A and B are shown apart, each in its own frame.
Chain A
Amino acid sequence: MHTLLKTLLIFSLAAVALPAKAALNIFACEPEWAALAQELAGDKASIYAATNALQDPHRVEARPSLIAKARRAQLVVCTGAELEMGWLPVILRESANPDIATGKPGYFEATHYVQMLEVPSRLDRADGDVHAAGNPHIQLDARNYLPIAQALSARMSELDPANAAFYAKRLQDFETSWQAAIKRWEAQAAPLRGIPVLVQHRAYPYLEAWLGFKQIGELEPKPGMEPSAAYLGKLLAQLQATPARMVIRSAYQDAKPSEWIAERAHIPTVELPFSVGGTETAKNLYGLFDDTITRLLQGLK
């Protein structure tokens, strides 16, 4: 028993003695922020994505590996708006790393830098899984990345002043190419304007606000609640009067409810990557929106 503890201790001390990497150590809660950090920091950062796009960001386990990764992180980049409240507090507490505590420069919440949508006027769990700060799925409006990138780049410079000029240059390059990409996406997505769609989860208000399609119904009776057969039946009856062109869901979600309604309403289902890595082609931030728009346009056919 004591020998085991001793072995562990020696093993751990050996880990401490390893030379620290020069790179800025970043812990990203979701893959989109890992991708953005990658765009802004290039090889000056070592980035760990805590979750992948095929995981429901509302239900992530506070895995031991995450605690270990957060222990040495210099910067935690998360969505905020309570999206990670089911697991991040445990990670922050157990990692015993004061540099990334809430309110410290090492703690970054993307939702702080954008205009939040669907901020509830009343807070009641009877309304389902609502977030006091508003809908947290801000990563689907490409325009949101501009203010977030600015703030994140500034944060990187603050934590790693030696590379400030490098981060500023990367930011400038990112802004230029991102603005061009936004123009391209907006032109491509023009046919989506005003198109009525159904969504499985209330995850797309930012995408809707940007591309201008019209959400006319949700498959979840309340955010975060499983669609019941009775509720889907009611929704189907509503579709007779106000038809939708497609039903949208994110890659991590159960396909069944949207397939059920799509089959009966004779509309296509569209699976969106939701984040970087959600589909084969959504390999980086540009791929995320290329693929999202391509898939939505395919839904129109």
Chain B
Amino acid sequence: MFKHNAIFLALLVPVTASATDDIDLRNLREQVQQLEQRVQRTESNAAVANRPAAAGANAFNPAISLVLQGTYGKFDQDPAIPSTGFAMSPNNNGYSRSFSLNESELGLSANIDPQFSGVATISLAPEGSSSVENAYVQTTSLGNGLNLKMGRFFSGLGYLNDVHAHAWDFVDQPLVYRTFWDKQLGEDGLQLKWLAPADIFIELGAELGRGRGYPGTDRQDNNGAGAEALFAHLGDDIGASSSWRAGVSMHQTKRVNAVSNNVPDLHATAGGVSNSFSGDSKTTGLDFIWKYAPNGNTTVTSFKLQGEYFQRTENGLLTYDTAGAAITDSYSVSQSGWYAQGVYQFMPHWRAGLRYDQLNSGNAEVGTTNAANVISNYTYTPTRYTLMFDYSPSEFSRLRLQLAQDKSRAGLSDNQLFVQYIMSLGAHGAHQF
């Protein structure tokens, strides 16, 4: 019908052509063009509508990611020797001599339903064991800036604590994380975060857990919470080029029969003695990170500066030499540690970083009956300088060289060298700031 009209029109037009019809013709041409555009639009809309949705039973499988890491390490001192003054703290440095496989990390994540999403990270140790690093569910629809996490998660305190190993800027954690949080504080429990509806970033968080991770002692005889944490983060941009985040955190737990082995004592018992501590542990921390890139463009160069400080006070009863004398008396100490690091991307895909670490083992107040047994002041300041270069051919792969001068142990200066690869396969989640 329309076609016939068009043909009729086409036949008619040349016959009746005259000067005034030029305008009609122009109008017609415009109409045809507009029609063409409408057809084009409809066609492209149809093409979009016809795009098939992902189908099949696998369509709802969670996102899977696998991180592979390996290192070569060369150093002079036994890595099992703890930092001087911190023999009662963990010394899990996470590296070993020669070639070794670091932790491999298998991650699964997906939305569960309109209300919840879930994340699980299984850590595969090189010796063959596997452990649950993270396994939590998170609300997605509470709104009002509220986020609730339940399960096993890395605590939100500090800056580095909830950063996964594959995203670290150095092979290992700062000394203060190694000794104060056993690398990273993992907790079983609840985390509630609230983001203020403000123009700048203001986030408050609270955690309640069983006290699974050090300094908690994973109490099994208690129905209440074994550890609590509070934190607040502030952040904003400065122009287009810089952004920052600063935070304060607080953590407290009650330690029960926390045993430390090989603790040096005044009697210089060979290999040290085993001590046990019960009491309150309170930690406060400050963290800061500043990132800079010209115009916010990290293509060529960028720089980040970060630092954290933690201070811990422990107050309670110490039992000296649990296997022998077993003398119990009061013990209280305040220890602290901090690090500062800068990482500079000097050309696309290449970065260099420098980190300085320092610990302060404090001056312990030891009850009189133990004054002749327990060392109250080690009069040594553990320090370490670390230099790092890395090359990332893509966002999924990274090769790293790290050199460190470790003076964390009195009289045992150690020059360390590491070569590392970090590769991620499969889904690659977005990184936090």
Contact = CB atoms under 8 A, between A and B. Distances in A.
Interface of A: 1, 4-5, 8-9, 11-12, 15-16, 51-52, 54-56, 59-65, 67-69, 71-72, 85-90, 93-99, 101, 112-115, 125, 128-129, 143, 146-147, 179, 224-226, 252-254
B430 A62 contact: yes
Contact of B199 (A4, A56, A69, A225): A69
Nearest to B235: A64
Nearest to B426: A125
B291 A64 contact: no
Most buried by B among A71, A252, A253: A71
B362 to A, nearest CB: 19
Given A4-B248, A65-B236, A129-B394, A51 B296 contact: yes
B433 A64 contact: yes
B235 A55 contact: no
Given A62-B433, A68-B201, A146-B41, A254 B299 contact: yes
Contact of B243 (A1, A12, A64, A69): A64
B114 to A, nearest CB: 9
B146 A61 contact: no
Most buried by A among B117, B234, B396, B430: B430
Given A11-B202, A12-B204, A89-B429, A64 B300 contact: no
A59 B396 contact: no
B348 A15 contact: no
Contacts, number: 171
Nearest to B304: A61
A64 B430 contact: no
A51 B295 CA distance: 10
A65 B243 contact: yes
Contacts of B47: 115
A128 B394 CA distance: 8
Given A63-B433, A254-B299, A15 B198 contact: yes
A252 B230 CA distance: 40
Contacts of A71: 145, 195-197
Nearest to B206: A5
Contacts of A129: 394-395
Contacts of B96: none
Interface residues of B, number: 61
Given A12-B202, A68-B199, A96-B142, 19 more contacts: A8-B232, A11-B202, A52-B296, A56-B297, A60-B296, A63-B291, A68-B202, A68-B236, A86-B395, A90-B433, A93-B138, A94-B432, A96-B193, A96-B195, A98-B140, A129-B395, A147-B48, A179-B37, A226-B349
A214 B21 CA distance: 40
Contact of A67 (B201, B349, B394, B395): B201
11 contacts: A5-B204, A11-B202, A61-B243, A64-B234, A64-B244, A65-B200, A68-B199, A86-B431, A97-B145, A115-B48, A146-B37
A198 to B, nearest CB: 19
The 7 A-B pairs of least Cβ separation, nearest first, read A64-B235, A12-B196, A64-B201, A15-B198, A68-B201, A54-B295, A98-B141
A97 to B, nearest CB: 7
A112 B237 CA distance: 31
B430 A86 contact: yes
B297 A64 contact: no
Interface in B131-151: 138, 140-147
A96 B236 contact: no
Contacts of B300: 254
B62 to A, nearest CB: 14
A147 B44 contact: yes
Interface of B: 37, 40-41, 44-45, 47-48, 117, 138, 140-147, 193, 195-204, 230, 232-237, 240, 243-245, 248, 250, 284, 291, 295-300, 348-349, 393-396, 428-433
Contacts of A86: 395, 428, 430-431
Nearest to A9: B204
Contact of A8 (B41, B204, B296): B204
A253 B430 contact: no
Contact of B299 (A15, A90, A252): A252
Contacts of B297: 54-56, 252
A252 B117 CA distance: 35
Nearest to A14: B198
B44 A114 contact: yes
Most buried by B among A9, A63, A115: A63
Contacts of B144: 96
Given A62-B433, A95-B145, A253-B299, A68 B394 contact: no
Contacts of A226: 348-349, 393
Nearest to A179: B37
Contact of B140 (A60, A67, A69, A101): A101
Nearest to A65: B237
A96 B145 contact: yes
Contact of A52 (B230, B244, B295): B295
A16 B394 contact: no
A282 B377 CA distance: 66
Nearest to B142: A96
B422 to A, nearest CB: 15
A89 B201 CA distance: 17
Most buried by B among A16, A61, A69, A95: A61
Contacts of A125: 394, 396
A61 B298 CA distance: 9
Contacts of A85: 430
A113 B298 CA distance: 30
B41 A64 contact: no
Contact of A147 (B45, B200, B395): B45
Nearest to B141: A98
Contact of B48 (A99, A112, A224): A112
A106 B201 CA distance: 21
B143 A96 contact: yes
A94 B433 CA distance: 11
A115 B201 contact: no
A59 B37 contact: no
B197 A147 contact: no
